[in-house]
């Protein structure tokens, strides 16, 4: 049975726009995956480690028959094939791919947590996700993306996120 899955994409090295476009194409070419929707691109400040270039971020919706861990493996292979090196936490990256939501599933294991554990505090995820899925509900608490985004914006402001 196919599931609706939301994936966050980010890049702050090289040709960021081309990196995101290439990643979307590679994801859509995974057997058992169909691209359903994509957000606009957003330029955002780095999160965690701030002394690096700004990021371009996007969220896509796919439909897939792949189980979550198999999809994760495919996404990690794309990151590696595009030149991603995991040298430092929150460091610069040519591409970063994260599974945000996978249908209504809740997973919590060392390899994969769904919903993504920090997505509710990250505007670079919430803003593009709200563009294509504002009424989505988090499977673990029932809150909508719109509600969570409003709460973060009220608390922190927009922190320089800009549609490009």
Enumerate domains of the chain plus CATH numbers. 3-163 (3.30.70.560)
CA distance 58 to 17: 10
Q: Of the residues 77, 84, 137, 155, which is catalytic?
A: 84
Is residue 98 part of the annotated active site? The answer reads yes
Reply yes or no: is the peptide bond before residue 115 cis, omega within 30 of 0: yes
Distance between CA 59 and CA 124 in Å, rounded?
A: 9
Its pTM stands at 0.93
pLDDT bracket for residue 53 (50, 70, 90): confident
Q: Indicate if 96 belongs to the active site.
A: yes
> Which residue is catalytic, options 38, 69, 77, 98?
98
Active site residue 93: yes
Q: Which of 38, 51, 77, 96 is catalytic?
A: 96
Note if 146 is an active site residue.
no
Residue 87 has pLDDT above 80, yes or no: no
């Amino acid at each position: 049975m196919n599931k609706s899955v939301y994936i966050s994409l980010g890049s702050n090295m090289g040709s960021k726009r081309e990196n995101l476009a290439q990643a979307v194409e590679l994801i859509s070419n995974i057997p058992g995956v169909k691209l359903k929707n994509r957000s606009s691109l957003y330029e955002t400040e780095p999160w965690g480690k701030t002394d690096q270039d700004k990021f371009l971020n996007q969220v896509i919706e796919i439909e897939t028959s792949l189980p979550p861990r198999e999809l994760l493996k495919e996404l990690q292979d794309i990151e590696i094939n595009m030149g991603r090196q995991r040298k430092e936490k929150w460091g610069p990256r040519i591409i970063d791919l994260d599974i945000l939501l996978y249908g209504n599933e809740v997973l919590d294991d060392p390899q994969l947590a769904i919903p993504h554990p920090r997505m509710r505090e990250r505007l670079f995820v919430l803003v593009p996700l709200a563009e294509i899925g504002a009424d989505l509900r988090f499977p673990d608490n029932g809150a909508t993306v719109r509600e969570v985004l409003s709460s973060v914006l009220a608390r922190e402001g927009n922190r320089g996120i800009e549609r490009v």
